[in-house]
Amino acid sequence: MKLLLVEDNAALQTTLSRSFGRRGMQVVVCGDGSRALDRWRAAVPDVVLLDLSLPGADGLQVLAAARAEGLDTPVLIVTARGTVGDRVLGLNTGADDYLAKPFDLDELEARVRALARRRGSGRAAEAPAWGGLQVDADSGAVMHEGQPLELTVRETALLRALLARPGHAVARERLSELVFAGEGAVQADAIEVVVYRLRKKLAGTAVELVTLRGLGYLLRLPGPPAIQAVQAGPP
């Protein structure tokens, strides 16, 4: 099992690396939030252990950006922020589990293994293909007829969000939240630029990216218009 440990406390880094190493796990350590996504992409782990108070970028920013990018690795937040509000915020941002410091090492290991098992069972069911497009369960990349599309991070986040509800409109505001997660203030029309570029890259497929004025965007296949419903919540 491969773990990515995003933690800036050197003593805790050493303790957890040795502890999990003795249990037969491979641990990659990152102590800077601004570098965490690079480590995550370089070798997709089975589970991510994520602290929230990090230099460079806050753990929640890292998590939001990862989910927007399509990185679906199970995330266990391990932090001193242990209030109910902190837990709810972490889970709503995309975490799969939450453990407050201080914690018991045996409990931490049990939670890590539970997340890894859950991921393994989820991989057994491949994401359905739609119009020749399919999201790769391991890398998060979008494939067309088995070949990866050459997309930017933002284009991938946009396409994944639309593929979650093909034939249904997704509100422009919701897409902006997903595509520009963790980037702070973004111009209102920034999503239109990403839509324009993605539409051009889908030109060689059977899928069309359609703009519905006042509603949002949707993916459709040639033929009779699909039933359109605006998605208010997360895709």
Give 185-210 pLDDT, tens digit per residue.
778 789 999 999 999 999 989 999 99
Give 126-154 pLDDT, tens digit per residue.
566 788 998 876 667 788 988 889 998 88
Structural domains of the chain, ranges and CATH numbers in brackets = 2-123 (3.40.50.2300), 133-220 (1.10.10.10)
Q: Secondary structure of 78-138 in the HEC alphabet?
A: EECCCCHHHHHHHHHHCCCEEEECCCCHHHHHHHHHHHHHHHHHHHCCCCCCECCEEECCC
The mean pLDDT value for 87-91 works out to 88
Distance (Å, whole) CA 168 – CA 225? 10
Q: What is the pLDDT of residue 127?
A: 61
Q: What angle do helix axes 153-163 and 59-69 make, rounded to 10 degrees?
A: 70
Distance (Å, whole) CA 140 – CA 220? 21
Give 15-25 pLDDT, tens digit per residue.
999 888 888 88
Q: Secondary structure of 170-215 in the HEC alphabet?
A: ECHHHHHHHHCCCCCCCCCCHHHHHHHHHHHHCCCCCCEEEEECCC
Evaluate if residue 227 carries a pLDDT over 70. Answer: no
